[in-house]
């Protein structure tokens, strides 16, 4: 069995989107260079992601930041219990 993971997260200033298989990073979005990166070693059968993967990652970041704003507004009046 293999463990396949997708990581997607954001803050006000940063974001992350990556795909992993068995603890190895297969693809991640480089939001500074505005491209997808496939950091796979040369000795494996290379797994390629579609060209639209980076555009999808950018759209996911917009959704994440929108959801973050909604959660902040919803939680602003909640009191923290001691």
How far, in whole angstroms, is CA 46 from its chain's centroid? 21
Q: What is the predicted pLDDT for the residue at 4?
A: 92
Structural contact between residues 10 and 65, judged by C-beta atoms closer than 8 angstroms: yes
Backbone φ, ψ for residue 26 (5° rounding)? -95, -35
Spell out the domain ranges in the chain: 4-75
**How much of the chain exceeds pLDDT 90, in percent?**
67
Closest to 65 (Cα-Cα) out of 36, 20, 31, 34 = 31
pLDDT single digits (tens) 15-51:
999 999 998 899 999 999 999 999 988 888 888 998 8
Q: Which fold, 4-75?
A: 3.10.320
What is the DSSP track for 11-49? -SS-EEEEEEETTEEEEEEETTTTEEE----TTSPPP--
Structural contact between residues 54 and 29, judged by C-beta atoms closer than 8 angstroms: yes
């Amino acid at each position: 069995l293999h463990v396949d993971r997708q990581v997607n997260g954001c803050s006000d200033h940063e974001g992350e989107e990556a795909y992993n298989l068995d603890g190895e990073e297969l693809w991640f979005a480089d939001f500074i260079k505005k491209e997808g990166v496939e950091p796979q070693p040369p000795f494996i059968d290379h797994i390629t992601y579609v060209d639209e993967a980076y555009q999808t990652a950018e759209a996911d970041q917009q959704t994440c930041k929108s959801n973050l704003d909604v959660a902040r507004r919803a939680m602003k009046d909640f009191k923290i219990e001691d």
